């Protein structure tokens, strides 16, 4: 029994106090919660070992594929590829072009406005075609020169826009080159062309031919009209000098008129344009020469009002009746071209269709009349030693005709007073 208090005292000494016991309980609870959290985290993170293993296998598989692809590229780079080296160089040549000034490129118009047009020339940026470079003639809008979306044309590079490095194109320069080439060809052929007078100075007038401005000296103008009266009129011209390098184009109206007048033979059929109407007839422009179609030479039927048959600007076929070179007068006729009298009034189209045929008939009648006139003359001039057959052919005197001629006075009674 004596030992019992001693043991109890020892027990009290070794047992923790109440407060300490409470702390211990809290600590125990915390430790217990930590153990549970550890168990939960362990349960959650434990499968991660499998995920890492799957990623490792995937990376290994991709590495193996990459190594195989690398080996194929190293040993057989073009295996299974339809696009070879030659195709590559061809593609480069097709889409790579020289952008230097003066280079010709082909492009497609895809946008237009009042200032110009955007053109796709397969460059890094689109090119621009200003309105002033659209045509050799002055136009207000690109559409006036036929520039529309979708148009594919050849252009020439004339500059570069410093703001966006886009190229500036021109059609005008190409057309100028073609115009000079055309003028050289026309000069070689020595043909007559029409030129519109657009200006004048002290030495002559300026005429527009094939889109180029040419100079016509006063010495080479056949008309005596003042230069101001020729403005905006079309005159016949021939080329005297064509020099593209010096931009020198000299023309002559006098040479063109000389050639035109040489073709004005009696009975010739020409195409003319009615210039003006007068009470006595109509003035017709035939290749730069004004001829008079008198009212009496319009039709076999009477024409009381010329305006009912002709109007200024009408195109028609006329025949040359006479040509006074000294006075510069040409008389014309449509009356002689009528298949039936009055056709010029009722059916002028038929008159123009039959013009050459009727003119041929007119020329034959003129030839017969001249032959008869020569025959009559030869009958009274046997000393010429020539005679005219019934066919109108000149030849030597026949044996049945005495050299001294015919005595035409014996059988003819003297004329009465």
pLDDT tens digits, 231-253: 998 888 999 999 999 999 999 98
More confident residue, 9 or 152: 152
Residues 6 or more apart from 291 whose CB is under 8 A from it? 272, 283, 284, 318, 320, 330, 331, 332
pLDDT for the residue numbered 263:
64
pLDDT for the residue numbered 262:
64
Q: What is the pLDDT of residues 344-403, one digit of tens each?
A: 999 999 999 988 888 888 888 888 887 887 777 766 555 555 555 555 455 555 544 444
Q: What is the pLDDT of residues 249-296, one digit of tens each?
A: 999 988 887 776 666 778 888 888 898 999 999 999 886 677 899 999
The backbone region for 272, taken as left when phi is positive above 0, alpha when psi lies in -120 to 50, beta otherwise, is beta
More confident residue, 36 or 273: 273
pLDDT for the residue numbered 90:
73
Judge contact between 141 and 131, C-beta under 8 A: yes
**CB count in 10 Å sphere of residue 149:** 12
pLDDT for the residue numbered 28:
44
Mean pLDDT lowest for which of 217-231, 316-330, 356-370?
Answer: 316-330
State the Cα torsion 48-52-57-63 to the nearest 10°: 160
Whether 405 shows a pLDDT value over 70: the answer reads no
Closest CA to 318 of 367, 281, 368: 281
* Confidence band of 171 (pLDDT split at 50, 70, 90): very high
More confident residue, 145 or 257: 145
Residues 6 or more apart from 240 whose CB is under 8 A from it? 220, 250, 251, 252, 255
pLDDT for the residue numbered 382:
54
Rounded CA-CA distance 134/151 in Å is 13
Judge contact between 390 and 368, C-beta under 8 A: no
Whether 150 shows a pLDDT value over 90: the answer reads yes
Highest mean pLDDT among 58-62, 137-141, 208-212: 208-212
pLDDT for the residue numbered 157:
92
More confident residue, 293 or 101: 293
What are phi and psi for residue 182, nearest 5 degrees?
Answer: -65, -40
Q: What is the pLDDT of residues 188-220, one digit of tens each?
A: 998 889 999 999 988 999 999 999 999 999 988
Q: Which domains does the chain have, with CATH numbers?
A: 103-175 (2.40.50.140), 190-259 (2.40.50.140), 264-362 (2.40.50.140)
pLDDT for the residue numbered 326:
65
Residues 6 or more apart from 227 whose CB is under 8 A from it? 200, 204, 205, 218
pLDDT for the residue numbered 8:
37
Whether 13 shows a pLDDT value over 70: the answer reads no
SS3 255: helix
Rounded CA-CA distance 263/319 in Å is 12
Residues 6 or more apart from 272 whose CB is under 8 A from it? 284, 285, 286, 291, 315, 316, 317, 318, 332
- For the record, the structure tokens of 36 come out as 């549970």
**DSSP string across 205-251:** EEEEETTEEEEEEGGG----S-HHHHTT-EEEEEEEEEETTTTEEEE
Q: How far is CA 77 from CA 64, 68, 73, 74, 206, in A?
A: 18, 12, 4, 6, 69
* Confidence band of 334 (pLDDT split at 50, 70, 90): very high
Helix or strand holding residue 384 (H, E): none
pLDDT for the residue numbered 137:
87
Whether 7 shows a pLDDT value over 50: the answer reads no
């Amino acid at each position: 029994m004596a030992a019992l208090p001693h043991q109890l005292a020892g027990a009290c000494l070794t047992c923790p106090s109440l407060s300490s016991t409470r702390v211990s309980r809290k600590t125990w609870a915390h430790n217990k919660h930590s153990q549970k959290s550890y168990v939960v985290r362990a349960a959650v993170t434990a499968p991660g070992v499998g995920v890492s293993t799957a990623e490792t296998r995937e990376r290994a598989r991709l590495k193996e594929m990459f190594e195989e692809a690398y080996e194929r590229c190293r040993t057989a780079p073009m295996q299974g590829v339809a696009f070879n080296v030659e195709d590559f160089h061809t593609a480069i040549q097709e889409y790579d072009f020289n952008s230097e000034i003066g280079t010709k490129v082909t492009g497609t118009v895809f946008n237009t406005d009042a200032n110009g047009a955007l053109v796709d020339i397969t460059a890094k940026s689109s090119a621009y075609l200003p309105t002033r470079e659209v045509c050799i003639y002055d136009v207000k809008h690109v559409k006036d020169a036929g520039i529309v979306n979708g148009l594919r044309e050849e252009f020439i590079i004339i500059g570069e826009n410093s703001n966006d490095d886009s190229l500036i194109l021109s059609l005008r320069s190409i057309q100028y080159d073609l115009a000079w080439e055309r003028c050289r060809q026309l000069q070689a052929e020595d043909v007559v062309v029409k030129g519109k007078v657009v200006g004048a100075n002290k030495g002559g007038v300026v005429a527009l031919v094939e889109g180029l401005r040419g100079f016509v000296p006063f010495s080479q103008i056949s008309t005596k009209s003042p230069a101001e009266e020729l403005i905006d009129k079309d005159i016949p011209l021939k080329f005297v000098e064509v020099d593209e390098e010096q931009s020198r184009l000299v023309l002559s109206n006098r040479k063109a008129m000389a050639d035109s007048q040489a073709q004005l033979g009696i009975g010739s059929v020409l195409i003319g344009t009615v210039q003006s109407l007068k009470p006595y007839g109509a003035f017709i422009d035939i290749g730069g020469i004004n001829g008079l179609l008198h009212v009496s030479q319009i039709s076999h039927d009477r024409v009381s009002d010329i305006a009912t048959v002709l109007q200024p600007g009408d195109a028609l076929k006329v025949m040359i009746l006479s040509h006074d070179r000294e006075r510069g007068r040409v008389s014309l006729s449509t009356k002689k071209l009528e298949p039936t009298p009055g056709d010029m009034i009722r059916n002028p189209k038929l008159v123009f269709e039959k013009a050459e045929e009727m003119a041929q008939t007119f020329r034959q009648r003129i030839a017969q009349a001249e032959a008869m006139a020569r025959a009559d003359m030869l009958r009274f001039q046997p000393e010429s030693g020539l005679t005219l057959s019934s066919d109108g052919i000149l030849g030597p005197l026949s044996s049945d005709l005495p050299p001294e001629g015919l005595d035409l006075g014996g059988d003819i009674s003297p004329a009465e007073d």
